[in-house]
């Protein structure tokens, strides 16, 4: 699929008449693109945005590059974490993709999908591995499936034109990419031009990225710290560079204990994607000063 759909295709996908679809286009509810021949076309991302915001039911999902499913339970978010855990452990990529994308199409914020479905699923998988109820290969395979699903989800987001750049990565020695990939999608959803630079990037290289790219926001997911003292020193140097460029520094991750956080300088610590979403909205709308010194975290972590 080229990524461009005709009004008839979109209408068929949501069970509406072509005349209704064209009327919605005329009313500005759907952005269209004119072809060289003068025909109207709708991007896949724009069609999905319209479906989400207008709460339409998709009756022909394949027309919108969505997995086919007859299981409407996948739209009830409170049941999805357990179902995703089961499907990931079983290696059922199609079912796992359906669970996540059905929630997305149903209009759930991506931050909610990640906090209430994806993150709990991987916590459960980790707990099963620790109790020898799941094999290492199952956890690794689940991560690979999740990466592909997140990439698919990212491709279905409407491109942003805010001009506000956010960059992110994991630190050197940290190869766990799921949290930072989810952060990229969340930031994009609220209007940032979010770019994930990759995993296991030295903090000195992140300094260069901040100096060269001058982003409005930098996010780092820290799931593993090879050397605590080296990390703290390098991170605070990165913060100093970011302060000079007016870059807000957002951190999160299971490796950032209370003790470590008291030694770091940062603009915000986010322990959920919902927290990241709210802070990112604030930075996007207002100029937020970066902190000048380490701050004490709240007692509730």
pLDDT of residue 75: 61
Residue percentage of the chain with pLDDT more than 70:
92
Cα 226 to the chain's mean position, in Å?
Answer: 26
Nearest to 218 by CA among 239, 191, 190: 239
Looking at the structure, give the CATH architecture of the domain made up of residues 165-285: 3-Layer(aba) Sandwich (3.40)
What's the pLDDT at 291? 47
With cut-offs at 50, 70 and 90, classify the pLDDT of residue 287. Answer: low
Nearest to 86 by CA among 77, 94, 76, 96: 96
pLDDT class of 300 with cuts at 50, 70, 90: very low
Tokens coding 108: 């759930």
Q: What is the per-residue pLDDT across 199-209, written as a single tens digit (0 to 9) for each?
A: 999 999 999 99
- Taking only the tens place, the pLDDT of each residue in 92-138 is 999 999 999 999 999 999 999 999 999 999 999 999 999 999 999 99
Q: At what angle do helices 119-130 and 136-155 cross, to 10 degrees?
A: 170
The pLDDT, as a whole number, for residue 224 is: 96
Prediction pTM value: 0.88
Check residue 296 and give its pLDDT.
52
pLDDT at 297 over 60: no
Topology classification of domain 72-155: 1.10.1240
Say what the pLDDT of residue 7 is.
95
pLDDT average, residue stretch 249-278 = 97
Average pLDDT taken over every residue of the chain: 92
Instruction: Over range 180-188, report the average pLDDT.
Output: 98
105/204 Cα distance (integer angstroms): 40
Residue % of the chain over a pLDDT of 90: 86
Q: Taking residues 260-272, what's their average pLDDT?
A: 97
Convert the pLDDT of each residue in 128-167 to its tens digit: 999 999 999 999 999 999 999 999 999 999 988 888 999 9
Q: Which CATH class is domain 4-64?
A: mainly alpha
pLDDT at 16 over 90: yes
What pLDDT is attached to residue 68?
79
Phi and psi at 67, nearest 5°, equal: -65, 140
pLDDT score of 6: 95
Equal fold, 4-64 vs 165-285: no
Q: Check residue 3 and give its pLDDT.
A: 79
**Binning pLDDT at 50, 70 and 90, where does residue 26 land?**
very high
Name the DSSP letter for residue 267: S
Which residue did the predictor score with more confidence, 21 or 70?
A: 21
DSSP string, 135-199: -HHHHHHHHHHHHHHHHHHHHTSPPP-S--EEEEEEETT----HHHHHHHHHHHHTT-EEEEEEE
Domain map (residue ranges) of the chain = 4-64, 72-155, 165-285
Torsion of CA 199, 205, 209, 212, to 10 degrees: -160
Lowest mean pLDDT among 5-9, 51-55, 283-287: 283-287
């Amino acid at each position: 699929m080229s990524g461009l759909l005709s009004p008839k295709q979109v209408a068929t996908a949501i069970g509406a008449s072509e005349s209704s679809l064209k009327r919605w286009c005329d009313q500005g509810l759907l952005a269209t693109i004119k072809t060289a021949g003068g025909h109207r076309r709708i991007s896949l991302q724009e069609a999905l945005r319209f479906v989400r915001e207008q709460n339409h039911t998709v009756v022909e999902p394949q027309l919108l590059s969505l997995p086919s499913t007859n299981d409407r339970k996948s739209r009830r978010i409170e049941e999805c974490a357990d179902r995703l855990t089961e499907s990931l452990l079983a290696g059922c990529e199609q079912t796992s993709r359906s669970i996540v994308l059905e929630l997305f199409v149903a209009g759930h914020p991506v931050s909610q999908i990640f906090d209430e479905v994806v993150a709990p699923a991987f916590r459960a998988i980790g707990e099963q591995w620790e109790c020898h109820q799941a094999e290492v290969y199952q956890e690794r395979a689940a991560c690979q499936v999740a990466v592909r699903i997140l990439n698919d989800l990212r491709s279905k987001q409407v491109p942003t034109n805010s001009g506000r750049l956010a960059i992110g990565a994991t630190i050197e020695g940290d190869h766990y990419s799921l949290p930072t990939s989810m952060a990229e999608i969340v930031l994009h959803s609220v209007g940032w031009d979010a770019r994930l630079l990759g995993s296991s990037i030295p903090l000195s290289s992140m300094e260069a990225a901040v100096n060269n790219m001058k982003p409005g926001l930098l996010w780092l997911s820290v799931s593993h710290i090879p050397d605590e003292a080296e990390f703290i020193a390098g991170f605070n140097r990165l913060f100093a560079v970011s302060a000079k460029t007016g870059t807000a520094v957002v951190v999160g991750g299971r490796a950032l204990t209370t003790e470590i956080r008291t030694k770091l300088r940062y603009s915000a610590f986010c322990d959920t994607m919902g927290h990241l979403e709210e802070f990112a909205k604030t930075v996007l709308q207002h100029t937020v000063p970066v902190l000048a010194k380490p701050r004490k975290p709240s007692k509730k972590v």
